[in-house]
Chain A
Amino acid sequence: MLRYSIKRILSIIPLLLVISFLIFMFVHMIPGDPAKMITGPDATKAEVELVREQLGLNKPLLTQYKEYMTGLVKGDLGMSVKNNKTVADTIVPRLKPTIMLTISSMIWATIIGIGIGIVSAIKHGKTLDYIGMIIAISGISIPGFWLGLQLIQKFSVVLGWFPTGGLESWQSYVLPSLTMGAGIMAVLARFTRSSMLETMREGYIRTARAKGLSEKFVVMKHAFRNSLIEIITVAGLQIGGLLSGSVMAETVFSIPGLGRLLVDSINFRDYKVVQALLLFFALEYIVINLVVDLLYGVINPKVRYD
Chain B
Amino acid sequence: MKLKKRLIFVLLASLLILGLTACGNKDDGKKATDSGDGKLSTASNSDAKSPDNDLVIAIEGSINSLDPANIGDTNSIATTRGMFENLVKFDENQKMVGQLAKSWEISEDSLTYTFKLNEGIKFHDGTDFNAEAVKANYDRVIDKDNELRQRRTFVETKDDGTESFRVESIETPDDYTVVFKLTEPWSPFLNRLSQFCIVSPKAIEEFGNDIMNNPVGTGPFKYVEWEQGSHTKMVKNEDYWGEKPGVDSVTVKEVGEAGSRTAMLQTGEADFVYPMTSDQLAAVEDAEDINILKNDSNIMRFVALNKLIPELSDVRVRQAMNYAIDKEAFVQLMYSGYAKPATSAVPSIIEGYVEQEGYDYDLEKAKELMKEAGYEDGFKLTIWGDNTTQEIKGMTFIKQQLEQIGIEVEVLPMEEATRNDKIYVEKEEAEVNMWYVNWSASDFTMDSSMRALLYSTMIPPTNANSAYFQNEEFDKLLDEGLKTADTEKQNELYAKAQKIVWDEAPWLFLGNDQIIYATKSYLSGVYVAPDGAFNFANAKLAQ
A interface residues, Cβ below 8 angstroms from B: 30-33, 36-37, 39-47, 50-51, 82-85, 90, 93-94, 125, 127, 130-131, 134-135, 137-138, 142, 149-154, 156-157, 160, 163-166, 251-254, 256, 260-261, 264, 267, 269
Contacts and interface: CB of A to CB of B under 8 A. Distances in A.
Given A137-B13, A164-B263, A254-B254, 8 more contacts: A39-B149, A47-B147, A83-B213, A84-B213, A153-B259, A157-B263, A164-B267, A256-B229
Contact of A260 (B16, B160, B229, B415): B229
A46 to B, nearest CB: 4
A131 B212 contact: no
B12 A134 contact: yes
B297 to A, nearest CB: 19
A44 B213 CA distance: 27
Given A164-B260, A260-B229, A44 B462 contact: yes
Interface centre among A31, A93, A127, A142 (most CB of B within 10 A): A31
Contacts of A40: 72, 149
A252 B461 contact: no
20 contacts: A31-B418, A32-B416, A33-B420, A37-B417, A40-B72, A41-B420, A41-B464, A42-B464, A45-B462, A84-B212, A84-B213, A130-B8, A130-B9, A135-B16, A149-B257, A156-B263, A165-B269, A254-B253, A256-B229, A261-B229
A46 B210 CA distance: 24
Contacts of A135: 16
A134 B13 contact: yes
Given A138-B16, A149-B257, A163 B269 contact: yes
A270 to B, nearest CB: 11
A252 B260 contact: yes
Contact of B269 (A36, A164, A269): A164
A254 B230 contact: yes
B255 A254 contact: yes
A250 to B, nearest CB: 9
Interface of B: 5, 8-9, 12-13, 16, 20, 23-25, 62, 64-65, 72, 147, 149, 152, 157-161, 209-210, 212-213, 227-230, 253-257, 259-260, 263-264, 266-267, 269, 415-418, 420-422, 424, 452, 461-464
Nearest to A165: B260
A42 B227 contact: no
A50 B229 contact: no
B149 A150 contact: no
A33 B212 contact: no
A128 to B, nearest CB: 11
Nearest to A167: B230
B14 to A, nearest CB: 10
Nearest to B25: A153
A85 B452 CA distance: 33
Contacts of B424: 36, 41
B227 A32 contact: no
Contacts of A47: 147, 157
A153 B21 CA distance: 11
A152 B259 contact: yes
Contacts of B418: 30-32
A50 B267 contact: no
Contacts of B229: 94, 256, 260-261, 264
Given A42-B452, A256-B228, A152 B260 contact: yes
B256 to A, nearest CB: 5
Given A45-B159, A83-B213, A127 B260 contact: no
The 7 closest A-B pairs by CB, nearest first: A32-B417, A256-B230, A256-B229, A46-B161, A31-B418, A154-B23, A164-B263
Nearest to B266: A157
A149 B416 CA distance: 27
Contact of B264 (A41, A130, A164): A164
B420 A32 contact: yes
A165 B264 contact: yes
A31 B417 contact: yes
Contacts of B160: 46
